[in-house]
Each structure stands twice: as structure tokens, then as C-alpha cells.
Amino acid sequence: MGNHLVGMAMDGGMLAGMGLIAVGAVLATYGALPARRPIHGDLARTSFEAPDRTPLNRWHAATVAVLILGLVIDVMKPATLGFVLPGLTAEYGISQSQAAWLPTVALLGTTIGSFLWGWIADAFGRRVAIMLSTILFAATAICGAMPAFGWNLVMCFLMGASAGGMLPVVYALLAEIMPPRHRSWVLVLVGGTGLIGGYLAASGAALLIEPIFGWRALWLQGFPTALLLLALSRMIPESPRFLDEEGRLEELADLERKFGLQPVPRPVAEAHTGASHEPGHRYLITALVIAALCWSLVNFGLLLWLPTDLATRGYSVEVASGILARSSLLALPTIALAAWLYAQVSSKWTLVAMIVLTAAGLVGALLPAPWLSQEPVLVAVIAVLIVGTNGTIAVLLPYTAENYPLGMRGRATGLVAGSSKFGGVGVQLAALAGFIPTLVGAAAVLIVPAAVSAGMIAWAGRETRGRSLRELEAE
């Protein structure tokens, strides 16, 4: 049948299979949740930490490798959307405007998932959240077998929600098990590698799998990749404080031995009030959310609309693609540079510098048309935008994870991660409404919030480079 399932009836066997998936997901959730929920307030602090002199060992390396794999799986799903749309549109016989609902609901799912899994990570533990999101991601791979487009939208929303939580939880966990001396660069490197690896995996799968098995295989591959992550999940540790509060002392002792963690005294009484009562936290999270929203609008909107804008300026498709390709070559060295600056110079000022660089690119987009019509100038403006946006997202979530206490680290990072995807939802809805702004128009709107977020972070942010989580939390 050429892998075409459109129009097939959802018979009893298929409905029973979907029912079993739902039941299995519920049972897996019940089995994964801890028997005794950890009890701590929003401002609960780290109670186990490796001394600064602790070297990285094979356990650190194995954990980093598995978590990078998790991020690659997480990132490749939204990255696959662009490769799926042509085949999906042709098989279902729908218009491009109808097909555009697929990335819209998928991005909405990842946005909601970031908030949801951040809360689960704070309530039940980091490893539990990663395991559950992986289980649900495997279950929702059935998205690739849906015979009707409406069912595809429902399942892809759930798939996005299950995958969207990996990013904030990985940052929260790594912040709690890495020695302070290595924490900063590891966080940035893991995030950047996962981001680039996800896009490479998506494009590689589209090149190797889709010509043979069709577009549905790009969704179905979520099942074996999620099973691989589950098989390697023993290499993912739980946050030590959660093990302590659940009374899993043997696992805690094993974790201390492998990762060089040591208990540190807790305060006599930890605050149980929310961070909304802490002005520093409130101002900083506002700045980080604004920065994340600006990044998402630049990444999912302005850069996505660039080919159309270049075409209106008279560039051919080949020339426009060449301009974007040459500018995009800067992505990988940008991640490496951001990691080095973040770990060796300053975490706070690296983030501020990357946001300012993005704003500079937006200013460049406002140059007079005769200037921007010159290819070297246009390439330089796009390159500055790409360097700024890649650098911003590489350090934004690690900086968030380092700035918030254990009791709300997952939710804070999830809020910023969700905000970094929410702009994509707005961009898709605008496109569905037929509104596609020009490069100049989009840049003019985004310059002010980008500058405001940079100023707020410079004012309310803290230096986290090389400092222990206990020291940061004590402030």
C-alpha cells in the first residue's frame, strides 16, 4: 500500500491496542512514582554536594552521555516536523494551511510539557520525571499509525507534551550531581550538543528512512529510540536529596560513592513559602522569561520567515538558501564559545552578552534597504542573529537551573523552557491567520523586549560560575 494508511477504518484491534497503551501508561506511572512522596518546601536547599576538587569520572561521563541522548530524542521530534509535512499533506490530501496545525499543536504540547514535567520533577524527583516522559514518549509514537488527520493532531499534541519536559529536568539533575568546578561548562555543553544532535538526527532520519518507509516512520522511530533510553536509564541517577527524603539510603550511599557527593548540613528550618515572595527571584525569573520569549520569536519566527523575506528582496531560492547555510555554519562554534565563556569568564555576563548580540542583529535588520541589499551586509546581519540566538539558548536554561533552589528548580527551569517554545506557538497561529511580518517589522518589535531582558538580568542576576549550589541558595 506504499505505507499509506489514510482512510483505513480504526477496527477493534487498533482501538484495543490504543486502549492497552493508555492502561499501560497509567500502570507505568503508578509503578514509577515513589512509594513516599518527598516533602520539602519551594525554597528547600541542596543537602548533598560534591566538593569543588572532585574530578569527573566514568559515572559522570556515562550520565552525561545518556542525558545527551535524551535531549537528542527530545529535540529531534519538533525538528522532524518540517520533514513530515510534505508527505503528510500529500497523503491526507489537505491544504498547507490545514497541515500547519500539526506543528502548532506539537509546539503547544512541548510548551505545556515543559511546565508539567518541571512540576513533577520538583514534586517526585528528577529521574522519575525523565522516566515517565520517556515512557509516554514511547507510547505516543503511535502517532505515526493514525489513519485520520484529526487523530494525528491529538496524538502529536500528547507526544509533544511527553517530550517537552526532558530539557528542564536534565538541567536540574545535572546541576545537583556535578562538582561546582565542572557544573557550568557541562550544563552548557550538554544542552548545546543535544540541540545540535537533535537537528542532525532529524535530518539524518529524513534522509535515510523517509525515502524507503515514508513520512510515518519518522514518528514511529520514537518507539525504539525511547526504548533505548529506557534500557540505559540505570545510568541516570536520582537527585540525592530525594533519595534521602524517601528513605532509600542504600541507593544514596551508592550515589555518594560514584559521584563523590558528601552530605552538607541543612538549615535548622527551611522556608516553605513560594519564591514569589522573594523579590530577587521574582525579578530574575521575569527577565529570564522575557529573554526566552524573545528567543523563541526570533528563532521560530524571524529566522523561519527569512527565506520568504529574502525572496521578496529579489534573491533566488538557491541564493537565499546559500546565505542561510553560510550563516548557520556558525552554530557549532557558537555553542563551544558560549560554553567556554560561561565556565571560564562569567555566567551572568555571557548570557547578557548573547542577548545583546541578538539585539544587535535585530538593529542590523533595521538598516536601510540599500545597505541590506548588499549580500555581505545581509550575511553579517543574519550571522549575528544566529550567533546571538544559539548562544542565548545554550546558556539561558543552565543559568536558570543554577539560580533557583532545589525545591523549585524544576519548575523555574520548566517555566523558562516553556517560554522558549511558546513563541513558536504564537508564530504558527500568526501564520495560520495569514500574518507573516517582514524582517524589518519583526526586528522593530523585538528589539525593546530583548534590551529590557538584558538590562534586567544585568541588574537582578547573580554570578554562578564556580560557586556551589549551597552558596547560591544561602544568598
Evaluated on CA atoms 271, 237, 21, 206, the torsion sign reads positive
- Domain identity same for 178 and 306: no
Same domain? For 63 and 207 the reply is yes
**Amino acid 276: pLDDT:** 43
18 within domain boundaries:
no
Examine the pLDDT at 15 and tell me if it is beyond 50: yes
- pLDDT score, position 61: 93
Q: Does 350 share its domain with 419?
A: yes
323 and 190 in a common domain = no
Query: What pLDDT is stored for residue 275 in this prediction?
Result: 42
pLDDT at 204 over 50: yes
Shared-domain flag, residues 338 and 395: yes
Is residue 133 assigned to a domain?
Answer: yes
| Rounded Cα gap, residues 344 and 188, in angstroms | 12
Average pLDDT over residues 214-237: 89
Of the listed ranges 323-337, 341-355, 423-437, the least confidently predicted one is 323-337
Q: Which residues contact 268 (CB under 8 A, 6 or more apart)?
A: none
Top-confidence residue, 382 or 104: 104
In a shared domain, residues 250 and 335: no
CB 385 within 8 A of CB 303: yes
Average pLDDT over residues 99-128: 88
- Of the two residues 413 and 98, the one the predictor is more confident about is 413
More confident position, 229 or 369: 229
Structural domain includes residue 388: yes
SS3 418: helix
- 164 by DSSP, 3-state: which? coil
- In Å, how far are 141, 210, 227, 277 from 444, measured between CA atoms? 40, 39, 45, 34
All cell numbers assigned to 300 = 521560530
User: When comparing pLDDT for 440 and 171, which is higher?
Assistant: 171
Locus of grid cell 519548575:
411
Is the pLDDT at 313 greater than 70? The verdict is no
What are 250-308's pLDDT values in tens digits? 999 999 999 999 888 765 545 444 444 455 567 889 999 999 998 888 877 765 556 55
Same domain, 393 and 449: yes
Give residue 424's Cα distance to chain centre. Answer: 13
Query: Is 20 domain-assigned?
Result: no
Q: Which domain holds residue 344?
A: 276-475
Give the separation between CA 161 and CA 168, rounded to whole angstroms: 13
Give domain status of residue 294, yes or no.
yes
* 3-state secondary structure at position 48: strand
What's 196's domain CATH number?
1.20.1250.20
Q: Do 289 and 185 share a structural domain?
A: no
SS3 466: coil
The answer to whether residue 313 is domain-embedded is yes
Cα distance between residue 244 and residue 274, in whole Å: 22
Q: Is residue 475 exposed (0-12), middle (13-18) or buried (19+ Cβ within 10 Å)?
A: exposed
Q: Which residue has the cell 515572595?
A: 277
Count: domains in the chain: 2
> Quick one: pLDDT band at residue 330, thresholds 50, 70, 90?
low
**pTM, whole model, 2 decimals?**
0.84
pLDDT classification of 354: cutoffs 50, 70, 90: very high
How far, in Å, CA of 83 to CA of 68, rounded? 23
Q: Do 223 and 360 share a domain, yes or no?
A: no
* Burial class of residue 257, CB neighbours in 10 A (0-12, 13-18, 19+): exposed
Whether residue 374 sits in one domain with residue 319? yes
Domain boundary among 209, 224, 255: 255
Asked whether residue 10 is domain-assigned, the answer is no
Distance CA 57, CA 62 (A): 9
Residue at which a domain ends, from 221, 255, 289: 255
User: Last residue of some domain: 203, 220, 255?
Assistant: 255
Around 448, how many Cα atoms within 13 Å sit in the side-chain half-sphere?
3
Q: Cα–Cα distances in Å, from 405 out to 239, 365, 401, 471?
A: 13, 39, 8, 11
**H/E element, 32:** helix 12-32
Better-scored residue on pLDDT, 282 or 218: 218
**Structural element, H or E, at residue 171:** helix 166-177
- Is the pLDDT at 465 greater than 60, yes or no? yes
Give the H or E element holding residue 262: strand 262-263
119 belongs to a structural domain: yes
Residue identified by cell 538549615 is 267
Q: Domain check: are 395 and 451 in the same one?
A: yes
312 or 37, higher pLDDT: 37
Residue 41: Cβ within 10 Å count: 15
pLDDT in the model for residue 57:
92
Q: Is the pLDDT of residue 315 over 70?
A: no
C-beta atoms surrounding 405 within 10 Å: 23
Residues 229 and 333 in one domain: no
